[in-house]
Amino acid sequence: MAKMPHGMSRLDLFLKECLDKHSLNDDRPLPQTFGYLTHANPVTGNLSKATIVAAFDALVETMRTTVVKDGPADAGMTFFGQFIDHDITLDATSAIGTKIDPRSIRNIRTPELDLDCVYGDGPEASPYLYGGGNLHEFLLFGREDNPYDLARNCTGRALIGDFRNDENIIVSQVQGAFICLHNILMTQAEKNDAVKRDIAHCSSMGVRTEVWHDVLNPGLKTFEEVRRFIRLHYQWLVLHEFLPSFVDQADIDHALSHDIFPDAPMMPAEFSVAAYRFGHATVQPEYALRKGESPVGLFALDGGFKPRDPGATIDLEMFFGPGAQKALPVGTDMAETLFELPDFIVGSGLQWGDHKIPVDQAKKLSLRNILRDRTAMLLPSGQQMARHLGIPECPTPQVLKDHHVDKTPLWFYCLQEAQASGNGKLTGVGGKIVASVIVRLLREDRESVLHVPDFAPWSGFGETCTMGNLMKFVEKHRDDVAHRKDLYCG
């Protein structure tokens, strides 16, 4: 600590030295609040709240389907998308029915693809996520009762960087896979000189050699190398596999060459509350957890926030890779299961001013998305965003017109575009918002893979770097972690 100027964290100092003065203390810090891409769009006109809710309820009922069809993305990509969301956003303030300016909402996650949901603030600032003594560079993982569960405290809560990643057994095991990946690579770096050299070379790309020596704690050098190595591959996967799975490639290419929201906040409400919630429409009503087993209903997966039974350990290849199940295509069809959220998720109705929304409506996930938009965040409509972007508008659905509503809520509008012309992927307004925000997070982070032009994924993950190959690597090596049982907790 003697080398550290007063008031600066080791991470700040690392960034200042590494990134040519582009640090978190620079004149343009990454904002920790939400905001608008355009402006607020209050509810106006003479329609009563009851009439407006009835219109939105009629709209979402057109989405309900029991006809399941496969889209282009692996089923696990829906949950990887949830994992990504939990890496970059956490709004602990807003509530349906309560108007709030997103500029007043603190984003509790860092608006960077930095895996803080896995690493927290590192071994020094988040020691409860790490092993003790000489295992301080390893993340805690596993329990005596289930070596593939997350580490837990005495109440059963997972010891992870974002508590939400324990809310269902699939995203929980995506979280676990990244924890295992870190521990596997730490182990291989200790035992295999060739792997250690590969990790050190990759992690040092874009970083001056003296930074690692002069700034970082010498006792954390291998940890920092492995962390950056994994971050770069994670960012590469987000850019080259996740986004193309759900977003039209033309919108991704456009975002890489043009910043269409140069003065916008890093985390716009139009992204977090509307466009990025496309994943709700890609959820299957049931999934097979292991090879050769029958599918189980979606809400059988939601026994989260408590120790996981060994029988709930999934085969990751069932969700990522050549033999994986598929997500639903992005569009206006939505699994009927999501219209009847169970009591442990939604147990009561909602209140919008003087209007009570009964529990049977409150249980519809699609209606909750629209009500959060219109009653809390006051987002611009889909048509307003299309005009702002200078692209053709989609018509207002007839069911809204029949209820005297002439503009389409942004979440539904993004799905409408995908249904009409996206071939199961976001396009138009939705494609541009999602691609641009994700790319901008990478562009503004001077450490990201976007600023490492010579980066090539590690051959140790296979001929190609995909989530399928990454998960296969984890499943192959997770039993070989050094000091494995010493990292159990709970």
What DSSP designation does 108 have?
-
Question: 210 pLDDT exceeds 50?
Answer: yes
Question: 6 pLDDT exceeds 80?
Answer: no
196-221: b or e for each residue (b if 16 or more CB lie within 10 Å)? Answer: bebbbebbebbbeeebbeebbeeebe
CA–CA separation, 118 and 472 (whole Å) = 19
Residue 307 zone, left/alpha/beta (φ > 0; ψ -120 to 50; rest) = beta
**pLDDT reported for residue 31:** 53
Q: With contact defined as beta carbons under 8 Å apart, do 178 and 230 qualify?
A: yes
Question: 203 pLDDT exceeds 50?
Answer: yes
**pLDDT reported for residue 25:** 39
- What's the CA angle centered on 299, arms 294 and 301, to 5 degrees? 65
Question: Quick one: how many helices (H) and strands (E) in the chain?
Answer: 19, 8
Instruction: Using alpha carbons, select from 352, 287, 259, 373 the residue that is nearest to residue 70.
Output: 287
**pLDDT reported for residue 98:** 81
**pLDDT reported for residue 477:** 98
pLDDT digits (tens, 9 = 90+) for 330-377: 999 999 999 999 998 899 999 999 999 999 999 999 999 999 999 999
Output the pTM of the full model: 0.92
Strand 334-335 to strand 286-287: parallel, antiparallel, or no bridges (unpaired)?
unpaired
**pLDDT reported for residue 12:** 42
The answer for residues whose C-beta is within 8 angstroms of residue 161's C-beta and 6 or more apart is: 115, 116, 117, 118, 119, 120, 126, 129
User: pLDDT-based confidence at 19, cuts 50/70/90?
Assistant: very low
By CB atoms closer than 10 A (0-12, 13-18, 19+), residue 358 is: exposed
Question: 285 pLDDT exceeds 90?
Answer: yes
**pLDDT reported for residue 105:** 65
**pLDDT reported for residue 20:** 43
Half-sphere CA count of 312, side-chain side, radius 13 A: 19
Beta bridge partners of 356: 351
CA–CA separation, 382 and 37 (whole Å) = 13
Q: With contact defined as beta carbons under 8 Å apart, do 310 and 145 qualify?
A: yes
Over residues 185-212, mean pLDDT: 90
Go through the domains of the chain in sequence order and give each one's CATH number: 31-487 (1.10.640.10)
CA–CA separation, 399 and 33 (whole Å) = 35
Over residues 413-442, mean pLDDT: 97
Crossing angle between the packed helical segments 428-444 and 249-257, to the nearest 10 degrees: 40
| Count of Cβ atoms closer than 10 Å to residue 238 Cβ | 22
**pLDDT reported for residue 90:** 78
Q: Which amino acid is at 240?
A: H
| Count of Cβ atoms closer than 10 Å to residue 233 Cβ | 19
What sign for the dihedral angle of Cα 94, 100, 102, 106?
negative
**pLDDT reported for residue 211:** 67
Q: What percent of the chain has pLDDT over 90?
A: 80
On average, the pLDDT of the chain sits at: 90
Question: 73 pLDDT exceeds 90?
Answer: yes
Instruction: Using alpha carbons, select from 13, 83, 44, 165 the residue that is nearest to residue 467.
Output: 83
**pLDDT reported for residue 271:** 97
pLDDT digits (tens, 9 = 90+) for 290-306: 999 999 998 887 767 89
